[in-house]
């Protein structure tokens, strides 16, 4: 034999030995050999539930010396697990002493602990001495051990199993004993029962540590195929422990989770600032139950923290089901029906073998009773024969040699189906067993009362034999016996379900559980994000003091904000040119004063990059096919792509745009063919050009750096991007319209003349020689298409201007003046230019975190060169860094009201104090 053949055969022999003799449980009794040997050895030693506790070392020694030639630690570990209430759904060992804890504490040494069989073990061991199972020699053939225990209930499902063999592994969850027995009874009643009907009886696993099983799809797959994943979540409640302080109370954890390790993991995440909002963790568990208190900070949102814990810790795990067990000595992956069918076949065989064993015993007793009846009927002759015999052997031989009258026993022989006595010519001879019984007969049995008892016992034996013969010959009868024994076991081991199965958490999508509504999403310079319900911000008049928008640490400030529907998709674009996607409801919800959560925790693949552009997308995804994305960088480059290029974005992100060294992405907006791109710079320059294939073509890939959108002066940079509707109007028509519209507005706003002193104007970059005025029809047409842009400075001033005041030019030019700064006013830079809708509000945010919401109707429409009016009264050394529009719900639909052609809510603009890579939040429409 070659070395290859030797290794192959030896390894296969070793693998099969591990599979059959060590690692995998038997489907019949649900036990591995070591567990089976422990239970059997303790029974043989008398360590039963009705006896006192015995030293664990004594039981381990018996097992190791007689049946299991392995280390004592492995035997003791197996015994300890069977005594742990958090490991076994039904304990098989009743332990006294330190048997470990759910915190992972080690049990005391075996010399210190005591143990005995639990009551439930009797249902696995009963009838083992009645020929129900086969025995096999032990390792040195000095003893015999059972190959399987005659289990009354399906222990494999009740207590589960886990083990790693060679090339295969098993992982079977625990189930509720009452439900498992009920399912077995249902299959006995209807062997062709469908899985769906069985799952109404046994809906899923039931773990000894409780918890909440999320959904039924994983359970069904596991029950059907034997393989599946069952998500399990800890049971947590949010309680108010004292005024303004809430805590998350954990009372149940997933199966096989170490509680102490879980707390350490939470603490590590808090220290690493991956989870915000936790101030303290305490373990208040005692004998009455588990209680882990996670105390929250005052500004923390409990639901958000709890969701973070579910995501990043073992408060939520998945139990990988692999129902692999030995069936007729061979490893087999089985579903729920397969396991129950295998158990029912085995249990029927146990009942059949037990009936045959009992029949033999009862027939032997009946045979002996027939001899006693014969002796009592002929007592004088029997006594005389015995007295004349010199010894017992002679007496026995004389009794067997004598022929006796069979008239008394023939009916009895027929009654008990006894074939041991042969009747010939009305005579019968005693067998050796009967002769021995007569010789051992006590004199008191010769009384009349005792003779009646013998006859009565003989009648009972006859009934028992008939019953046993019925069991042996009838499958239906065996099923009835099995049912009765299952019901008896159920009465002893049934307990209420511990694990809840939640359809809401698993079978429903998370989004369906989120209440629709408008949210204000806020992002800080240090990368913290949150969402706050829009209704928490009340409207104020122009010139108000505002309110605190967010809590800050150090010099962290808000750099961008936007409002969006909870079910909208949001695209995140990083400084490195990558795109990420997330629903608004996935963002952490927090109060207006809360800091929020670090973006790096929401986007783990972000790394050291910063999020520099955020774009909420239309809720109706059918609109995506007709939309394009226009990109703008701080250096003035632009690019156009189809929105469908970003439909599928993996969790690790997607390359969105190739950036030159030192450049950053400042804005992304949706657009359509024929609309206009508007770029505004920090030094009050702007440019407007049309979106056409000749001016700005659609790029096929995402790896390009784009083309020049505006030529910048030294030290200048692009700070905002928006998309405007293109209107076909000549230069003369635009100038005439502006003159007529201004006159109309002055007449309408005469009551606001007191604000005129705030207005400062200067010369125009372009002088238009007006030929003539517009007709009323043309004026009305242009008025209906007019868009108004709001420009805000870092000094808290702003003004609205008609989009007609910004001419359409070619791409790549120097642009025109966007605003004129006054020497007497604070602020020398523009923080944003964005389109506004009639009847809506805008929000301004300062570098100190103050925020004001005011109606745009209170801001006058002026020429684009005007310095504007006071929008926000600032404190000393305070500047405006961010402005964004508030778009209310459109009627009852819950959709965001937008300008025709503008598909998303505009995004806030950055301010001068934010870094160059982060300074310009997007102004996408």
- Grouping H, G, I as helix, E, B as strand and the rest as coil, residue 131 is coil
Cα–Cα distances in Å, from 576 out to 169, 507, 600, 657, 912? 44, 38, 14, 8, 21
Segments in 749-903 forming alpha helices (H): 776-784
- Per DSSP, the residues of 148-165 read S---SS-HHHHH-EEEE-
Question: In this structure, what DSSP letter does residue 325 have?
Answer: E
Q: At what angle do helices 432-439 and 392-401 cross, to 10 degrees?
A: 130
**Residue tagged 């910004």 (tokens):** 806
Residue closest to 734 by CA, chosen among 685, 805, 670 = 805
Cross-strand bridge partners of residue 289: 286
Residue closest to 235 by CA, chosen among 255, 213, 223, 251 = 251
Separation between Cα atoms, residue 643 and residue 699, nearest integer Å:
11
And the tokens for 579? 């795109």
- Active-site position among 11, 112, 255, 806: 112
Separation between Cα atoms, residue 438 and residue 364, nearest integer Å:
14
**Residue tagged 């007729």 (tokens):** 328
Cross-strand bridge partners of residue 338: none
Count of alpha carbons within 13 angstroms of residue 635, beta-carbon side: 13
For the chain, the residue count is 925
Question: In this structure, what DSSP letter does residue 57 have?
Answer: H
Separation between Cα atoms, residue 869 and residue 881, nearest integer Å:
17
Segments in 127-216 forming alpha helices (H): 155-159, 177-189, 195-201
Separation between Cα atoms, residue 686 and residue 710, nearest integer Å:
8
Separation between Cα atoms, residue 653 and residue 854, nearest integer Å:
37
φ/ψ region of 273 (left if φ > 0, alpha if ψ in -120 to 50, else beta) reads left
> Burial level of 856, CB count in 10 A (0-12/13-18/19+)?
buried
Residue closest to 855 by CA, chosen among 543, 465, 522, 415 = 543
**Residue tagged 């949010």 (tokens):** 238
Handedness of CA 74, 78, 83, 88 (dihedral sign): positive
And the tokens for 642? 């189809």
Q: Are 682 and 912 in contact (CB under 8 A)?
A: yes
- Phi/psi for 48 (5° steps) reads -90, 175
| Most distant CA atoms of the chain, gap in Å | 159
Separation between Cα atoms, residue 487 and residue 785, nearest integer Å:
81
Separation between Cα atoms, residue 914 and residue 537, nearest integer Å:
24
Cα–Cα distances in Å, from 524 out to 126, 212, 269, 558, 919? 70, 36, 21, 4, 11
Q: Are 115 and 95 in contact (CB under 8 A)?
A: yes
Residue closest to 566 by CA, chosen among 594, 593, 533 = 533
Separation between Cα atoms, residue 730 and residue 719, nearest integer Å:
29
- Per DSSP, the residues of 824-845 read TSS--SEEEEEEE-TT-EEEEE
Alpha-carbon 506 to chain mean position: 8
Is 112 known to be catalytic? yes
And the tokens for 814? 């120097």
Write b or e for each residue in 96-129: b if 16 or more Cβ atoms lie within 10 A of its Cβ, otherwise e.
ebebbebeeeebeebeebbbbbbebbbbbbbbbe
Q: Which residues are known catalytic residues? A: 112
């Amino acid at each position: 034999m070659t070395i290859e053949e030797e290794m192959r055969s030896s390894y296969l022999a070793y693998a099969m030995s591990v599979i059959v003799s060590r690692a995998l449980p038997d489907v019949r009794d649900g036990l591995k050999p070591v567990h089976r040997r422990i239970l059997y050895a303790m029974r043989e030693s008398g360590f039963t539930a009705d006896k006192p506790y015995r030293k664990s070392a004594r039981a381990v020694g018996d097992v190791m010396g007689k049946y299991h030639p392995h280390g004592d630690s492995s035997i003791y570990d197996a015994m300890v697990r069977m005594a742990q209430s958090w490991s076994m759904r039904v304990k098989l060992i009743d332990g006294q002493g330190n048997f470990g804890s759910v915190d992972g504490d080690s049990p005391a040494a075996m010399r210190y602990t005591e143990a005995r069989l639990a009551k439930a073990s009797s249902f696995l061991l009963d009838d083992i001495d009645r020929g129900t199972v086969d025995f096999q020699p032990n390792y040195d053939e000095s003893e015999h051990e059972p190959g399987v225990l005659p289990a009354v209930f399906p222990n494999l499902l009740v207590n589960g199993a886990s083990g790693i063999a060679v090339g295969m592994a098993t992982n079977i969850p625990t189930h509720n004993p009452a439900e498992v027995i009920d399912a077995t009874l249902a299959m006995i009643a209807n062997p062709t029962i469908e899985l769906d009907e069985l799952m109404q009886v046994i809906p899923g696993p039931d773990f000894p540590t409780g918890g909440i099983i999320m959904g039924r799809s994983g359970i069904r797959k596991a029950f059907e195929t034997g393989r599946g994943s069952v998500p399990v979540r800890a049971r947590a409640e949010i309680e108010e422990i004292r005024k303004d302080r809430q805590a998350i109370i954990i009372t149940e954890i997933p199966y096989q989770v170490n509680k102490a390790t879980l707390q350490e993991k939470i603490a590590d995440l808090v220290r690493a600032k991956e989870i915000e909002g936790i101030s303290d963790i305490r373990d208040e568990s005692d004998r009455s139950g588990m209680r882990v208190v996670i105390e929250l900070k005052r500004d923390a949102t409990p639901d958000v923290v709890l969701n973070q814990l579910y995501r990043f810790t073992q408060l939520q795990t998945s139990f990988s089901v692999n129902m692999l067990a030995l069936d007729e000595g061979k490893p087999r992956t089985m579903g729920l029906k397969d396991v129950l069918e295998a158990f029912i076949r085995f249990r029927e065989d146990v009942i059949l073998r037990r009936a045959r064993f009992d029949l033999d015993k009862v027939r032997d007793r009946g045979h002996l009773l027939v001899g006693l009846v014969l002796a009592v009927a002929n007592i004088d002759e029997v006594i005389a024969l015995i007295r004349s015999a010199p010894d017992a052997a002679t007496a026995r031989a004389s009794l067997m040699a004598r022929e006796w009258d069979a008239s008394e026993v023939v009916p009895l022989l027929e009654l008990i189906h006894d074939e041991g006595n042969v009747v010939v010519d009305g005579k019968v001879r005693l067998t050796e067993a009967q002769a021995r019984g007569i010789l051992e007969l006590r004199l008191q049995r010769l009384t009349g009362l005792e003779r009646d008892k013998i006859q009565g016992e003989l009648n009972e034996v006859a009934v028992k034999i008939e019953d046993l013969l019925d069991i042996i010959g009838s499958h239906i009868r065996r099923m009835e016996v099995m049912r009765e024994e299952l019901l008896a076991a159920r009465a002893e081991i049934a307990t209420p379900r511990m694990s809840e199965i939640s359809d809401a958490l698993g079978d429903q999508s998370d989004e369906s559980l989120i209440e629709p509504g408008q949210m204000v999403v806020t992002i800080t310079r240090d990368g913290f994000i949150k969402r706050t319900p829009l209704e928490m911000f009340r409207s104020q008049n122009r010139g108000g003091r505002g309110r605190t928008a967010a809590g800050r640490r150090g010099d962290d400030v808000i750099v961008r904000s936007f409002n969006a529907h909870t079910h909208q998709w949001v695209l995140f674009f990083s400084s490195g040119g990558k795109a990420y996607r997330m629903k608004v409801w996935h963002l952490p919800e927090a109060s207006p004063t809360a800091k929020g959560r670090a973006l790096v925790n929401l986007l783990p693949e972000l790394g050291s990059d910063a999020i520099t552009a955020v774009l909420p997308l239309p809720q109706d995804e059918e609109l995506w096919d007709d939309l394009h994305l226009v990109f703008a960088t701080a250096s003035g480059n632009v690019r156009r792509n189809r929105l469908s290029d970003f439909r599928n974005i993996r969790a690790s992100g997607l390359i969105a745009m190739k950036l030159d060294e030192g450049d950053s992405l400042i804005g992304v907006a949706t657009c359509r063919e024929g609309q206009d791109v508007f770029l505004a710079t920090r030094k009050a320059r702007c440019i407007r050009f049309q979106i056409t294939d000749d001016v700005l073509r659609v790029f096929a890939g995402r790896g390009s750096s784009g083309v020049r959108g505006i030529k910048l002066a030294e030290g200048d940079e692009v700070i905002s991007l928006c998309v405007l509707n293109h209107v076909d109007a000549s230069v003369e028509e635009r100038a005439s319209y502006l003159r007529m519209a201004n006159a109309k507005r002055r007449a309408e706003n005469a009551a606001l003349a007191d604000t005129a002193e705030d207005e400062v104007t200067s010369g125009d970059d372009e002088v238009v020689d007006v030929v003539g005025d517009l007709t009323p029809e043309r004026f009305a047409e242009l008025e209906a298409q007019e868009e108004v842009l709001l420009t805000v400075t870092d000094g808290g001033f702003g003004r609205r201007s008609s989009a007609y005041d910004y001419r359409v030019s070619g791409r790549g030019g120097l642009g025109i003046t966007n605003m004129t700064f006054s020497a007497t006013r604070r602020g020398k830079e523009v923080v944003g230019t964005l389109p506004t809708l009639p009847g809506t509000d805008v929000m301004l945010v300062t570098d100190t975190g103050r925020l004001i919401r005011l109606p745009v109707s209170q801001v006058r429409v002026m020429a684009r060169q005007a310095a504007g009016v006071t929008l926000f009264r600032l404190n000393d050394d305070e500047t405006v860094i961010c402005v964004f529009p508030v778009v209310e719900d459109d009627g009852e639909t819950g959709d965001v009201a937008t300008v025709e052609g503008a598909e998303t809510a505009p995004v806030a603009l950055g301010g001068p104090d934010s870094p160059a890579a982060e300074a310009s939040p997007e102004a996408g429409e």
